Amino acid sequence: MLKLAVLASGRGSNLQALIDAIRMGELDAGIAGVFSDKAASGALAIARGAGVAAMHIDPKAYASRAAFDAALFAAVDASGAELIVCAGFMRILSPEVVAPRTSRMINIHPSLLPKYPGLHTHQRALDAGDREHGASVHAVIPALDAGPLIAQTRIAIEPGDSPERLAARLLPREHRLLVQVVRWIAEGRLRFDAQAVHFDERRLSEPLRVG
């Protein structure tokens, strides 16, 4: 069983998707801990409601970003997690904590990377007149949303879409994407590092597609 640590700052819908998949027997994994920089994070409430260890680590309690990152990942490592899942974690992590963990840390991002790293991805896709939008799971490296792409899901942008409507239509696909990627890792079919992604022992030249 693959042990997961989930990092989240917001409502925790991707965490809930992982918990649901585990409960339904669709994902051979366990959540060793949920970690958040926000005391009021919905993810922490979801974790506690599910009987999962949940920890708030307050950035304001540390003198520097590096000190916070060191404390956060000391707690993550102590949980025994084998895979670290960044699911709506809204802080940029320092290279010192990312670099040693690039082969076991993934992030889910609401755009078709390399388009639109960072924030406000739905609005940016609409402003650009894109006909398609989606979400990506990638390996985490010491650069924002720039690690090797693992898998993506895509939806058409419809007439009249607002950022809110686009986000709402994408979210269920985002959940399926994350669960599928974690399932492939748990099954031993998927491995990655800072340079490449391998699926069934084949190096990927483009991200996997998840419907």
Looking at residue 53, its pLDDT comes to 98
Task: Tell me how far apart the alpha carbons of residues 171 and 140 are, in angstroms, rounded to a whole number.
Answer: 21
Three-state SS for 149? strand
Per the prediction, the chain carries an average pLDDT of 98
Cis before 114 (ω within 30):
yes
* Torsional sign, CA 97, 179, 154, 209: positive
Residue 175 catalytic? no
Looking at residue 181, its pLDDT comes to 98
Considering only the top CATH level, what class is 112-135+147-211?
alpha beta
Mean pLDDT of 126-148: 97
Three-state SS for 48? helix
Find out whether 142 and 98 touch, Cβ atoms under 8 Å.
yes
DSSP single-letter state for residue 143: B
Of 109, 133, 138, 175, catalytic: 109
- Give the domain ranges of the chain: 1-101, 112-135+147-211
pLDDT-based confidence at 189, cuts 50/70/90? very high
Mean pLDDT of 172-185: 98
Looking at residue 93, its pLDDT comes to 96
CATH of 1-101, one of 3.40.190.10, 1.20.120.1810, 3.40.50.300, 3.40.50.170: 3.40.50.170
Mean pLDDT of 157-181: 98
Strand partners, 208: 151
Same fold, 1-101 and 112-135+147-211: yes
Of the candidates 40, 46, 38, which has an alpha carbon nearest to the alpha carbon of residue 19?
Answer: 46
